Amino acid sequence: VTVSSGDQAVIDSTDSLDGHGYASVAVTVDLVVLTIRQGRLEVLLIERGSDPFKGQSALPGGFVQSDEDLDDAAAHVLARECGSTLAHQAHFEQLRTYGRPDRDPRLRVVSVAYVAFVPDAPEPRAGSDAASAHFRLVADLLAPQATLAFDHARILGDAVERARAKLEYTSLATSFVTSPFTVADLRRVYETVWGATLEPNNFRRKVQATDGFVIETAAARTGPGRPARLYRPGHAATLHPPLLRPRAGDEMVTDGRALA
């Protein structure tokens, strides 16, 4: 198991494996755990306790064991950082794999990134043994001067874009709220992730017209105004027709509550 750094960069996988060496590469999973707290998009970060990037913030992650599926590895990290109860409600999916040779100064690390969407987390972290897991504002971290360890800023950017895109054509938004929710709750998810304001009426119509997005319940939630009807997630995974986000030229909320 040694590195053969010869001229030919790619070894034909059809050849006998034993004849050639293959690169010794560590494979990790990194998680972008997104949540919405008080109308703001936040991401779970840990503070690195050792070099490299000691003291800087980083995405939680871990090495993949040799008998472990990638999805399982991601699930384990999620459970470790968020607690198993929250981890079970969360929806997570593979994002992309990052493998630049210099992304970890220690050794060659290929990282399979995952995105997880959790409803408003009760507390920053539940049963974590990591010293310092905490949610941070995504808007601050996407700013140009913000720094994250490794290439985690890029991973975070890709994850946010994935979330924005998937709100359009999937029922992902229901993963950001706890189960009895109002249409306004759902709308605020879209507004927070997209950084845009939506017409409440038209949003309701689209949600109700989209088959299987939400299921009406008998209950209602009381508040400052007229009680709001409560819903639970529907069975549809994809939305027909899609809920397209406002495109260029539309007003963007530019105060502290919006993303960059």
Partner DNA sequence: GCAAAAGTGTTATAGATACACCCATGG
Partner DNA sequence: CCATGGGTGTATCTATAACACTTTTGC
Residues that bind DNA (CB under 7 A): 182-184, 199-202, 204-206, 209, 220, 222-229, 241-244, 246
Partners of residue 112 on adjacent β-strands:
29, 97
Place of tokens 């601050």: 140
Residue 134 is a binding residue for a second copy (CB under 8 A): no
CA angle 166, 170, 174 (to 5 degrees): 95
DSSP 246: P
Rounded Cα distance between 76 and 72, Å, is 6
Nearer to DNA, 76 or 232 (CB): 232
Rounded Cα distance between 28 and 43, Å, is 19
Partners of residue 97 on adjacent β-strands:
112
Least distance from C-beta 227 to DNA, angstroms?
5
Least distance from C-beta 177 to a second copy, angstroms?
26
**Count of positions on this chain that bind a second copy (CB under 8 A):** 61
Contact of 213 with 171, CB cutoff 8 Å: yes
Contact of 228 with 186, CB cutoff 8 Å: no
Segment lying near a second copy (by CB under 8 A), choices 34-42, 63-71, 82-90, 199-207: 63-71
Separation of CA 241 from chain center: 24
Nearer to a second copy, 14 or 222 (CB): 14
Query: Site mask, a second copy, residues 158-197, x = CB under 8 A?
Result: ----------------------------------------
* Interface ranges with a second copy (CB under 8 A): 1, 3-5, 9-17, 20, 22-30, 46, 48-50, 58, 60-70, 72-73, 76-77, 80, 94, 96-101, 106-108, 110, 112, 129-131, 240, 247
